[in-house]
Structure 1
Amino acid sequence: MTTASGGMTTEQLREHVATTLTRGRERTAALIEVEPDELTAQHSTLMSPLVWDYAHIGNQEELWLVRDVGGRDPVRQDIDQMYDAFLNTRASRVALPLLDPTEARDYVRTVRDKVFEVLERSPLAGRRLEEGGFAFGMVAQHEQQHAETMLATHQLRAGAAVLHAPRPPAAVVRLAPEVVVPAGEFVMGTSTEPWALDNERPAHTRNVDGFAIDTAPVTNGRWLQFLLDGGYDRPELWTTVGWAHRVQAGLTAPEFWQLDGDAWSRRAFGVLEPLVDDEPVVHVCFHEAQAYARWAGRRLPTEVEWEKAARHDPATGRSRRWPWGDEDPTAEHANLGQRHLRPAPVGAYPAGASALGVHQLAGDVWEWCDSGFTPHPGFEVFPYEEYSKVFFGGDYAVLRGGSFGTDEVAARGTFRNWDHPVRRQIFTGLRTARDLTAAERG
């Protein structure tokens, strides 16, 4: 499709919604195919028990699609507060009287059956919540976001591997170090993408000074050079806040890296293996990313710069839905959707390059931007404040682009993510940028 609902008949849109919901549920079901005690355990205080995430997914479906869109009686109104993410911190959820794995599966299945009945009757038009299938798209994105969170929980769990996937494709092109993005205006955000969330809206024009940006994300090999050059022991490379965190948290390498003799390895989903030099580094926090950028004589891009590099087409002056164009991603474009359980080597997806020639801006690793999470000019809450508004202006840094664990429904070129600067259990990496010299500016 060219837009989330553009050009489709109502029946085609209905089929698209059903396919998208089913894809998410198949993924979620695979993530809970572990022993019952693994589902109810808290593998890290940063994360919920897997069974909480699973039932929460069902509860959100019930609230928005069964009760609101469908106007139907509640399935389990008695559990609403228990699965409210704002009422219960992740660390406290393990102590709640949660639905056990069997009850959770039954509940989620019952809700989904009712959702498909509602989908068959919804006009997918008229009411803003239903226009273009928005409510269904919002719920599909919510499930996929929690699926990625559950994938991060799997990375944190101890024990042998329970998830398996083929390795990503090898690099097929050699990339130049950086791309120069010329100064000028571009359109940021969207007013036309039917499933875009409120923080992506509205489209607005931004004027951006010229800058240079890495052609690809920073790799393990480059990060190892930073580490071996004392990057974690040089306070001058870190901000004051960043250095305080490095000391307090005892950071000495990206999370899940291990030193075995003279060689570094990385543990991924229960498997310990040598570092792959040309894969993007993953599991680094914002403070580490800033320190690396300073060591490299560069800086992190702002969110505006990142989106211009990803979406702006200088030939037409318009902004694309995805770096490569308006068509939805395929396996040739990007490493998305948990197709693989690791980032792909840089140069593996030439078909996914942006119009400006920047590679791997979708998938592989979420990329830290040197911007706080703020609303676009003209922002309006829709359909509820707790998705975006309550986070604006807090202690958050923006993340863009998606990871290998992000589904395409939650990774378009306008999609915005955010987290605390200290977080690194998520699939985070970076690329760096720099200001242009006077000669380059002309």
Structure 2
Amino acid sequence: MTAPEEDKLREQALATLTTARDRTTLLTSCVEDPDLTAQHSPLMSPLVWDLAHIGNQEEQWLLRTVAGREAMRPEIDGLYDAFEHPRAERPSLPLLPPDEARRYASEVRGRVMDVLESTAFHGTRLTEAGFAFGMIAQHEQQHDETMLITHQLRKGPQALTAPDPEPVPLFTGPAEVLVPGGPFTMGTSTEPWALDNERPAHLREVAPFYIDTTPVTNGAYQAFIEDGGYDDPRWWTSEGWAHIRKNSVTAPLYWKRDGKQWLRRRFGVTEVVPPDEPVLHVCWYEADAYARWAGRRLPTEAEWEKAARHDPAGDRSMRYPWGDADPAPEHANLGQRHLRPAPAGSYPEGESPLGVRQLIGDVWEWTASDFLPYPGFQAFPYKEYSEVFFGPDHKVLRGGAFAVDAVACRGTFRNWDYPIRRQIFSGFRTARSGDV
């Protein structure tokens, strides 16, 4: 790596770390301390836990591991170990109070800035191309997304604001696009900050299939509800049917019927459900049931990635649907720039060569696939990031959402969760097998 290339990566690391910290500060300064220390749902940590956990992970990896420095607060490592304490237990722990958590995270960041300036971006796998700094920026952004989920779960008046996406004409393009069959390169071996579950690049053979041009909308999903979709076991797996009956699930999370219309609560504001937005806050079982009702299915993870990355003209896999350039505002709805998905059909400049839109941003998209390792997978730098989650218990989501920052969202990026999860910013699109 040349010196100019290393300098460019150092600037990129600085920018992504700064963007992440600015977002963390916004999410933890827009409410009073009681809201930071409260647990707004047993599914989520108190916001103050996320804040100190961000600082603790940064200290452990960048100050202790990369720079070899002595631990600043070794006595709190256990408190902020995500595997040692389930989320429901964290409010009972002796957590750092808000002001102390802020000071700790700030002091860690100040020292990290010195480390960033002095660390060579080569020599070890952790430092190669600044990987450790990129990993920590992604980690913080992932917790920022988690904190935004907590803000959505939080009761009380609106605390966050953002402009709405630009209005667009009602999408009148084709409902689906044919993705040709054949091999394509899935995953990556060259993206410098890609995480272990995205690696290595490998060939996948995919039969021809059709995929929705846009994510499924609220209006389309309402048709499923009105047709008795939640009352008909034909559309549900046995596990899904048992889950929705046991938990009285009858609509996406945060929806309620008001006469003949549906309302939703969104970050403290109640509003009419907009019919042209991608549906949000549905679990895998709901997405799968809708697809069956529509005579379709969820795409596999490989199908989703081929639709998002395959360039038939060049017979290659691109970084993003629009090409290899980093995401820009005209490409996708990312980075908490808005607090809602953009209308279906938005961002024509972000569509794939085959004409599929909004594959990146807006909503995480459930796929039919279990979260499994790629051939040749190697855990790095620790098994607890991916390896311990592999198996049939978790379903893969792809594409990111409006709550996801670009540093933590690529055409190869993989997310995963239990099929019952609805508090996440999840939606979906459907597919069907091709016959040509």
TM-score range, shorter chain: over 0.9
Shift of 1:121: 0.6
Aligned positions of 1:180-259 closer than 5 A: 180-259=178-257
Separation (CA, whole Å) in 1 of partners of 2:18 and 2:215: 32
Q: Match for 2:317: what amino acid? A: S
Q: Does 2:134 correspond to 1:114?
A: no
Q: Match for 2:6: what amino acid? A: T
Paired position in structure 2 for 1:94: 91
Paired position in structure 1 for 2:354: 356
The one of 242, 264, 267 aligned to 1:266 = 264
Paired position in structure 2 for 1:62: 59
Q: Are the structure 2 counterparts of residues 96 and 179 from structure 1 closer, same or farther at C-alpha, using a change threshold of 3 Å?
A: same
Q: Are the structure 2 counterparts of residues 341 and 8 from structure 1 closer, same or farther at C-alpha, using a change threshold of 3 Å?
A: farther
Separation (CA, whole Å) in 2 of partners of 1:124 and 1:372: 35
Aligned positions of 1:418-433 closer than 5 A: 418-433=416-431
Q: Is the 8 A contact 1:171 1:349 kept in 2?
A: no
**1:369-395 CA deviation, whole Å, 9 max, x = no partner?**
000000001101111100011111141
Shift of 1:300: 0.2
Q: Is the 8 A contact 1:369 1:400 kept in 2?
A: yes
Q: Is the 8 A contact 1:189 1:202 kept in 2?
A: yes
Shift of 1:343: 0.4
Separation (CA, whole Å) in 2 of partners of 1:182 and 1:314: 9
The one of 11, 16, 20 aligned to 2:16 = 20
Q: Does 2:149 correspond to 1:137?
A: no
Shift of 1:6: 9.8
Q: Does 2:5 correspond to 1:9?
A: yes
Higher mean C-alpha displacement, 387-396 vs 181-190: 387-396
Question: SS state of the match for residue 316, structure 2?
Answer: coil
**1:214-250 CA deviation, whole Å, 9 max, x = no partner?**
0000000000000000000001110111100010111
Question: SS state of the match for residue 326, structure 2?
Answer: coil
Q: Does 2:108 correspond to 1:103?
A: no
Separation (CA, whole Å) in 2 of partners of 1:223 and 1:94: 37
**1:57-83 CA deviation, whole Å, 9 max, x = no partner?**
000000000101111111111100000
Q: How many residues align?
A: 434
Paired position in structure 2 for 1:328: 326
Q: Which runs of 5+ in 1 are unaligned?
A: none
Q: Match for 1:420: what amino acid? A: Y
TM-score by length of 2: 0.98
Question: SS state of the match for residue 368, structure 1?
Answer: strand
Q: Match for 1:181: what amino acid? A: V
Calculate the aligned-residue CA RMSD, in Å.
Answer: 1.1
Separation (CA, whole Å) in 2 of partners of 1:257 and 1:297: 25
Q: Match for 2:401: what amino acid? A: S
Question: SS state of the match for residue 139, structure 1?
Answer: helix
Separation (CA, whole Å) in 2 of partners of 1:117 and 1:92: 35
Paired position in structure 1 for 2:335: 337
Separation (CA, whole Å) in 1 of partners of 2:173 and 2:25: 38
**1:320-360 CA deviation, whole Å, 9 max, x = no partner?**
10110000111100000000000000111000001111100
Q: Match for 2:264: what amino acid? A: R
Paired position in structure 1 for 2:397: 399
Q: Match for 2:88: what amino acid? A: A
Q: Is the 8 A contact 1:217 1:360 kept in 2?
A: yes
Separation (CA, whole Å) in 2 of partners of 1:206 and 1:198: 18
Shift of 1:13: 1.4
Q: Does 2:63 correspond to 1:45?
A: no
Separation (CA, whole Å) in 2 of partners of 1:213 and 1:394: 24
**1:267-307 CA deviation, whole Å, 9 max, x = no partner?**
10000001111100000000000100001000000000000
Separation (CA, whole Å) in 2 of partners of 1:394 and 1:313: 31
Q: Which runs of 5+ in 2 are unaligned?
A: none
Question: SS state of the match for residue 82, structure 1?
Answer: helix
Paired position in structure 2 for 1:124: 121
Shift of 1:15: 1.2
The one of 433, 436, 440 aligned to 2:434 = 436
- Determine what percentage of the aligned residue pairs are the same residue: 63
Question: SS state of the match for residue 316, structure 1?
Answer: coil
Q: Match for 1:309: what amino acid? A: A
The one of 77, 82, 87 aligned to 1:85 = 82
TM-score by length of 1: 0.97
Paired position in structure 2 for 1:166: 163
Separation (CA, whole Å) in 1 of partners of 2:118 and 2:347: 41
Q: Match for 1:251: what amino acid? A: V
**1:126-183 CA deviation, whole Å, 9 max, x = no partner?**
1110000000000000000000000000000001100000001222553210000011
Q: Match for 2:124: what amino acid? A: R
Q: Match for 1:186: what amino acid? A: F
Paired position in structure 2 for 1:367: 365
Separation (CA, whole Å) in 2 of partners of 1:6 and 1:433: 45
Q: Is the 8 A contact 1:397 1:420 kept in 2?
A: yes
Separation (CA, whole Å) in 2 of partners of 1:321 and 1:294: 31
Separation (CA, whole Å) in 1 of partners of 2:180 and 2:6: 42
Q: Is the 8 A contact 1:286 1:368 kept in 2?
A: yes
The one of 280, 295, 298 aligned to 1:297 = 295
Question: SS state of the match for residue 236, structure 1?
Answer: helix
Question: SS state of the match for residue 111, structure 2?
Answer: helix
Paired position in structure 2 for 1:389: 387
Superposed structure 1 runs of 4+ greater than 4 Å apart: 5-8
Shift of 1:124: 1.1
Separation (CA, whole Å) in 2 of partners of 1:11 and 1:252: 53
Separation (CA, whole Å) in 2 of partners of 1:8 and 1:169: 38
